[in-house]
């Protein structure tokens, strides 16, 4: 597994597709979805909120050293996502998060890192005025177009350093809000500093009740604190994947459906097909009804079910 992963993340790993093929792949993805396959569409929105399977965000960044030659940094924790930059053996990185993703029925560990200065980042030129973002949540993308995934966001008023102008897009230097993903096996991560020992709780000296001087009193003992447990999918009849899908959000009418909302394909000759059921705990999806959206989340497909269920981690409008 390590050998295949290293090859996939070498210089010959899959990079971003040219824009000329984006529409063809989008249509192909919709066809596959109608046939019951789980696909990843490529149309991207221009602003929105950032997302995953099993992740351990760091309260403070840790440091690591790249140990693989020409190691790819990608826009998502997936071997099929765009290559944002390349790092070389000995390069230092700041590790922000660790995530385990199931891909091709294999668990792969990824690290989210701060982007190096060599990474190419782009923003829409119409939303940059005098070197500052003039809208909220301006997406920073890994290529000059909405077909490329976002790798960060800028708050209104955030300053950017423009490297080059490419039509309607500005190439900028990576900011502190930009990040990418690298296979964990390609990085030696420094051990996190040990947390300071908690102060010992004062002990209460047991006393013998005055009414019964011969009684033996046992002091109360606190229950041991067990280690935190991460729940992973162990059911062979359920396929769990990290997905990005585009479609139109609609309400579900069936009373026995597993969710109240669904993602549908665009209408073609007045016909539209269901792609997946949607659930979003804590998020009101009503405002997205009938809208073209992009969904990022965890898809669970039970054996025998016609459609999967996606737990939404992020939803964006597609303009």
The least confident of 116-130, 179-193, 286-300 is 179-193
Q: Among residues 310, 317, 229, which one has the least CA distance to residue 40? A: 310
What residues contact residue 7 under an 8 Å CB cut-off, 6+ apart? Answer: 13
Q: What is the pLDDT of residues 25-35, one digit of tens each?
A: 555 555 554 44
Higher pLDDT, 215 or 173: 173
CA 117/CA 209 separation, integer angstroms: 71
Q: Which residue has the higher pLDDT, 47 or 187?
A: 187
Q: In this model, does residue 229 exceed pLDDT 90?
A: no
Sorted by where each begins, the domain ranges of the chain are 1-16+53-190, 238-317
Q: Report the SS3 class of residue 184.
A: helix
pLDDT on residue 270: 81
The whole-number pLDDT of residue 14 equals: 42
Give the distance, in angstroms, between the CA of residue 7 and the centroid of all CA atoms in the same chain.
23
CATH class of 238-317: mainly beta
Q: Which of 286, 287, 279, 283 is nearest to 310 (CA)?
A: 279
- What does the pLDDT average to over 279-295? 89
Q: For residue 211, with 0-12 CB atoms within 10 Å meaning exposed, 13-18 middle and 19 or more buried, which class applies?
A: exposed
Q: Is the pLDDT of residue 1 over 60?
A: no
State yes or no: pLDDT of 250 exceeds 60: yes
pLDDT at 242: 83
Q: How does the average pLDDT of the chain come out, rounded?
A: 76
Tokens matching residue 199: 């102060």
- Checking if the pLDDT of 36 tops 70, the result is no
Q: In angstroms, rounded to a whole number, what is the distance separating the alpha carbons of residues 300 and 119?
A: 33
- The answer, yes or no, to whether residue 9 has pLDDT greater than 80, is no
Stretch 110-134: mean pLDDT: 92
- CB-based burial, 41-80: b 16+ in 10 Å, e otherwise: bbbbbbbbeeebbbeeeeeeebebebebeebbbbbbbbbe
**Torsion-angle region of 200 (φ positive above 0: left; ψ -120 to 50: alpha; else: beta):** beta
Assess whether pLDDT exceeds 90 at residue 22. Answer: no
Q: What is the mean pLDDT of residues 82-96?
A: 91
């Amino acid at each position: 597994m390590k050998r295949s992963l290293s090859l996939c993340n070498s210089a010959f790993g899959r990079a971003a597709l040219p824009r000329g093929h984006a529409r063809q792949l989008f249509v192909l993805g919709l066809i596959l979805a109608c046939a019951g396959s789980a696909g990843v569409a490529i149309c991207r929105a221009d602003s929105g909120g950032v997302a995953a399977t099993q992740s351990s965000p760091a309260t403070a960044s840790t440091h690591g050293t790249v140990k693989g030659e020409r190691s790819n940094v990608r826009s998502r924790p997936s071997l099929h996502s765009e290559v944002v930059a390349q790092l070389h053996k000995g390069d230092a990185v700041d590790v922000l998060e660790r995530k385990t993703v199931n891909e091709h029925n294999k668990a792969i560990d990824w690290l989210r890192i701060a982007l190096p200065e060599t990474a190419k980042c782009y923003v829409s030129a119409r939303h940059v005025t005098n070197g500052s973002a003039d809208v909220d949540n301006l997406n920073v993308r890994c290529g000059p177009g909405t077909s490329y995934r976002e790798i960060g966001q800028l708050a209104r008023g955030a300053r950017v350093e423009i490297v080059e102008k490419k039509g309607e897009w500005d190439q900028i230097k990576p900011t502190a809000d930009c990040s990418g993903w690298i296979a964990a096996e390609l990085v030696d991560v420094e051990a996190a500093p040990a947390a300071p020992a908690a102060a010992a709780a004062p002990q209460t000296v047991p006393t013998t009740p005055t009414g019964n001087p011969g009684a033996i009193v046992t002091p109360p003992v606190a229950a041991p604190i067990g280690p935190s447990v991460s729940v992973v999918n162990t059911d062979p009849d359920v396929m769990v994947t990290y997905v990005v899908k585009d479609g139109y959000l609609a309400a579900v009418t069936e009373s026995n459906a597993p969710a109240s909302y669904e993602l549908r394909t665009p209408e073609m000759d007045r016909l539209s097909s269901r792609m997946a059921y949607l659930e979003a705990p804590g998020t009101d999806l009503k405002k997205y009804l009938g809208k073209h959206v992009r969904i990022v989340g965890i898809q669970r497909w039970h054996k025998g079910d016609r459609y999967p269920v996606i737990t939404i981690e992020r939803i964006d409008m597609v303009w």
